[in-house]
Amino acid sequence: MNNLMSYSFFPAFSIMAFVAVVLLIEGLYMMWNSYRGPEATKIEQRLRALSASSDSTERASVLKNRMLSGVPAIERSLLFIPRIHHLDRFILQSGLDWTVARLLSLSLLFGVVVYVMLSFARLLPFLQSGVALAAAFLPFAYVQWKRGRRLRVLEQQLPDALDLIGRALRAGHALPSGLKMVGEEMVDPIATEFRITHDEINFGISMQQALTNLSERVPITDLRYFVVAVLIQREAGGNLTEVLGNLSNLIRNRLKFYARVKVMTTEGRMSAWILGALPFALAALFNLVNHDFISKLWTDPIGIKITNVMLSIMAIGAFWLYKLIKIRV
């Protein structure tokens, strides 16, 4: 009876493990592309070149004032982890009021609880560990989802913010006043980010450093273009109002075109989901209709090898379908 129960759980847990692996690969790729992609690297080099001559002092950033944990001992332990502030910045970009210690604690809690619960189902050890690992990744997936949604809202608000700054400049206000207007008259999340930038300038941080901090907190390519435009204008001069107007129109046109592309690729995305879920749905159906026939895939040594090869090929196919329907605009 226990063996029958454990075998009946196999299709569901296989689906969970497969989806978790795909989400993990996608999340890691998006994080890498945000910080180390070709566009991010090119803009970062330009920002460094523009700001190198302004400040030789240590960078002042709100990120370094954030607590990684409310417990001093845990705080000191986390500081020994390489690039731990990248994870803190990742949480900050999601808009969640979490610390790094809380995120890691939730991840550990999810993994341990799911592993203990699955131990009563007498699953295969590798499957039990895989599902527990997928559960441990759920808090990171939630932060990634919140971060992506917040950055999309920021990207949609950016053209209106640039128009507001442009109108302030045409009215005779200075750029810091335009940043203050965005923080006061627009809604979150863009209002909070520009308000932080204005406060940093008032606290004595240079304009270049404050804008560089803004581009680090909000890793949006269009916002980095705005920062580069402002820094170039401060170094070489030019009509910043016209540049902001052109950039605003360019962003709006790109967002409209991206919306049309998303509608046109709806069929392809639905096909990808159907093709990805169809093998698992058929496996669950065969498990109900003829359990002895399908159970050879995870009870027989040859069947286990076939299953591993099949899942590997499916993962490659899912990634390939994703690359086909993912169009960068």
pLDDT of residue 120: 74
Dist CA 242 CA 228 (whole Å): 15
Mean predicted confidence (pLDDT) in 84-94? 82
Dist CA 300 CA 306 (whole Å): 10
Residue listed under structure tokens 């809604």: 187
Dist CA 322 CA 276 (whole Å): 11
Share above pLDDT 90 across residues of the chain, in percent, rounded to a whole number: 0
Share above pLDDT 70 across residues of the chain, in percent, rounded to a whole number: 74
- Give per-residue pLDDT as tens, 189-244: 888 889 988 888 888 888 888 888 888 888 888 888 888 888 888 888 778 888 88
pTM of this prediction?
0.64
71, containing H or E segment: none
- Give per-residue pLDDT as tens, 20-59: 555 566 666 666 665 555 555 655 655 555 444 444 344 4
pLDDT of residue 287: 76
Which residues lie below 8 Å from residue 60, measured CB to CB, with a gap of 6+? 200, 205, 209, 213
Mean predicted confidence (pLDDT) in 292-302? 79
pLDDT at 188 over 50: yes
Residue listed under structure tokens 């731990």: 84
32-36, 79-83, 244-248, 272-276: lowest mean pLDDT where?
32-36
pLDDT of residue 8: 46
Give the mean pLDDT of the chain: 76
- Give per-residue pLDDT as tens, 90-101: 888 888 888 888
Longest dimension (CA), the chain: 80
Mean predicted confidence (pLDDT) in 144-171? 89
Tokens of 5: 């129960």
Mean predicted confidence (pLDDT) in 111-128? 74
Please tell me which of 38-42, 59-63, 89-93, 142-146 the model is most confident about, judged by mean pLDDT: 142-146
Beta carbons of 104 and 75 less than 8 angstroms apart: no
pLDDT of residue 53: 42
pLDDT at 73 over 80: no
Look at 128 and 219; give whichever has higher pLDDT: 219
Q: Which of 245, 144, 149, 225 is nearest to 188 (CA)?
A: 149
Mean predicted confidence (pLDDT) in 145-153? 89
Q: Which of 17, 276, 24, 31 is nearest to 141 (CA)?
A: 24
Look at 18 and 212; give whichever has higher pLDDT: 212
Q: Which of 132, 139, 149 is nearest to 98 (CA)?
A: 139
pLDDT at 117 over 70: yes
Look at 271 and 252; give whichever has higher pLDDT: 252
Total number of residues shown for the chain: 329
DSSP states of 160-195:
HHHHHHHHHHHTT--HHHHHHHHHHHSPTTHHHHHH
For helices 38-51 and 2-36, give the axis angle rounded to 10 degrees.
40
Dist CA 137 CA 141 (whole Å): 6
Look at 52 and 123; give whichever has higher pLDDT: 123
**Domains located in the chain, CATH noted:** 153-252 (1.20.81)
DSSP states of 250-306:
HHHHHHHHHHHHHHHTHHHHHHHHHHHHHHHHHHHHHHHH-HHHHTHHHHSHHHHHH
